[in-house]
Amino acid sequence: MGELRWCFLGRVEYAAARRLQTRLADLRARGGMEDLVLLLEHGPVVTVGRNAPLPDPRTVRDRPVVRTDRGGDVTYHGPGQLVGYPVCRLPARGRGVRSFVSAIEHALCDVALSLGIAATPRRGYPGVWTGPEHAPRKLASIGLGVRRAITLHGFALNVDQRAERGFEGMAPCGLAGVQVTSLASLRARPLPSMETLAARLARGVAIRTERRWVPEALDAAELPADDGESGDGRSDGEGPTEHSRAFLLG
């Protein structure tokens, strides 16, 4: 495998981040860049998988709802959550997505463990979980798409209680009765900064996906400028194409 670059962007609204990832995925597909993971926070938004029903308006609470081309059901993004968008080439025809998802799960677990928090994947339930088997709590979610063998969408780690509050009244990823948690709720001591957590997570993704870690973060100015359109001609970067495939979210 080649190297993995990373960039921490701070607060980026969902539509702008998706346009950026789509442009980068097009560039990666043409061989114009190495693998990259974007790390950032979103403003409050509810996203819905391509085949999932729209959520009850009473649970949305005036937050924008976006239909996406990823797999899975309904989830929330917002402040207090570290979101990662890997733009990585998979083997020919996108094979290896399951092992890529597993690698991301274990990278998220590694970050939690670095803070003294035990977290694990659960068979049949993508994402990262804490607590006993009979009452697990969700710490992180994963939802991927693949187009032209390049990963799209990504993962979200709940860092503090603001992220937990965003899920109130919702069934996270369509799992009724599931409770979410955050790093802050599981750790008595203060957390590192969001940028420090982003660096740890990017390094973990590189190690777990067997890519060469590049410690120096890319500057946001090195990324393509936002022209208001996605690389495939859609204004919001969403919706399926003949070259895209949706994968699981949990």
Report all structural domains of the chain as residue ranges with CATH numbers, in order of start: 3-249 (3.30.930.10)
Q: How far apart are CA 250 and CA 247, in angstroms?
A: 10
DSSP 15-84: HHHHHHHHHHHHHHHTTSS-EEEEEEE--SEEEE-TTSPPPPHHHHTT--EEE-SSSSSEEEE-TTEEEE
Give the N- to C-terminal CA distance of the chain in Å, as an integer. Answer: 27
Q: Which residues pair with 6 in a beta bridge?
A: 37
Catalytic annotation on 173? yes
Q: How high is the pLDDT of residue 233? A: 35
Q: How high is the pLDDT of residue 125? A: 85
pTM given for the model: 0.87
Active-site residue, selected from the candidate residues 7, 88, 109, 173: 173
Q: How high is the pLDDT of residue 92? A: 67
Q: Which residues pair with 87 in a beta bridge?
A: 36
Using alpha carbons, select from 240, 242, 231, 234 the residue that is nearest to residue 24: 231
Average pLDDT per block of 10 residues along the chain, 250 residues long: 93 94 96 96 88 71 79 84 96 79 97 97 90 91 89 95 88 74 96 97 97 92 72 37 46
Q: How high is the pLDDT of residue 13? A: 94
User: How crowded is the C-beta side of 21, counted as CA atoms within 13 Å?
Assistant: 31
